[in-house]
Chains A and B, each alone.
Chain A
């Protein structure tokens, strides 16, 4: 069964074979299975902090030293920012912790798609010169 052998990666709070338990413990899909971290020493947190500092310094140095032409530089620092966001979400925000399925990841994913669309479409539409000013 799913839980055997896979125990180290997933501590699954599973549904009863007879249907929902009514306690919010249902896991509808494997990729939504929750996962809890527990460590004797906050290694993950330290890793997250050092990682975010390194990414910040890398972005700062890249801009101060102008290592690339403007557009390439913008892409690089945006990628570094996304890396930092992933660190915060994965380590500090315990993204995969939940009672039952991790439905908040789906909500958040939808939010991110709309956010990128909102910013991207706004910039795109403004690249058209209307000729009216």
Chain B
């Protein structure tokens, strides 16, 4: 199929897509996200199968979970997803300061998320409900912990990104990195929404 040619089309592209090679890296990152999706799908499958295997004296999902921390974590991550979207929006308008500020807010909300999650995990373990107690608890800690590890990595990534943005400004390379980070962060938000639904809310049904 032949579509008409627009000679100046690359001039209209956002900065991260103007370089051919950089835009290929974005395509590659989407492929990574598809494989990461399969990793989480495997862990969701394990959780779905094991959630009723609570062992001899282990707690059921209903007994274990308190919705409070889970709701706080959800709100923190949803808000961070929004601020990350605003960072990309500022980047598109070529506002370096705005990009860095919203990215920093995203990072702090991410830290809040991980902190709340660690406190939640510690409170479970303090009651004796650690991952070796039952198949349900193993599956729970593996699924939610893997997501938490992803968010922790995202925080480290955002720190390096802020340093690069401050040093180099908005170039084809740094905007591509920022765009990829945003993809990663929103992807983790989607995974969390499903964890909140399938693990926490489903546990209370």
Digitize B93-121: 1 where CB-to-A-CB distance is under 8 Å, 0 elsewhere.
00000000000000000000000000000
Complex Cα distance, B6 from A74, in Å, reads 49
Pairwise interchain contact B186-A92, C-beta atoms closer than 8 A: yes
The answer, among A1, A49, A59, A107, for a CB contact under 8 Å with B31, is A107
Q: How far is the CA of A63 from the CA of B197 in the complex (A)?
A: 10
Whether the pair B78, A56 counts as a contact (CB closer than 8 A) is: yes
Inter-subunit contact B202/A97 (CB<8 Å): no
Contact present for B1 and A29 (CB under 8 Å)? yes
Q: A52-B81, A119-B44 are in contact. Are A13 and B197 (CB under 8 A)?
A: no
Q: Within the complex, which residue of A14, A48, A91, A108 is in contact with B9, where a contact is CB–CB below 8 Å?
A: A14
Instruction: Let me know if A17 and B5 touch, CB within 8 A.
Output: yes
By beta carbon, the residue of chain B nearest A121 is B45
A4 to chain B, nearest CB (A): 9
Known contacts A85-B194, A88-B186, A104-B27: A12-B3 contact under CB 8 Å: yes
B84 to chain A, nearest CB (A): 7
Per the 8 Å Cβ criterion, residues 73-93 of A in contact with B are 73-74, 77-78, 80-81, 84-85, 88-89, 91-93
Q: Are B194 and A59 in contact (CB under 8 A)?
A: no
Instruction: Check A24–B42 contact: CB distance below 8 A.
Output: no
A13-33 to B contact mask, C-beta < 8 Å, 1/0: 111110000011101111001
Select one of A66, A74, A80, A85 contacting B202, CB under 8 A: A74
A24 to chain B, nearest CB (A): 5
A31 to B4 alpha-carbon distance, docked (Å): 16
Contacts of A115 in B (CB 8 A): 37-38, 40-41, 44
- The CB with the most chain B CB atoms within 10 A, among A11, A16, A93, is that of A93
Spot the interface stretch: B16-24, B123-131, B146-154, B161-169: B16-24
Smallest Cβ distance from A98 to chain B, in angstroms? 7
Whether A77 pairs with B201 at a CB distance below 8 angstroms is yes
The chain B residue sitting closest to A1, CB to CB, is B4
* In contact, B13 and A99 (Cβ under 8 angstroms): yes
Q: Does B49 contact A (CB under 8 A)?
A: yes
The docked-state distance in angstroms from the alpha carbon of A126 to that of B49 is 7
- 8 inter-chain pairs at a CB distance below 8 angstroms, sorted by A residue, are A14-B4, A33-B3, A78-B198, A97-B17, A107-B31, A111-B38, A122-B46, A122-B49
6 residue pairs, one from A and one from B, having the closest CB atoms: A104-B30, A111-B34, A14-B3, A115-B41, A99-B23, A122-B45
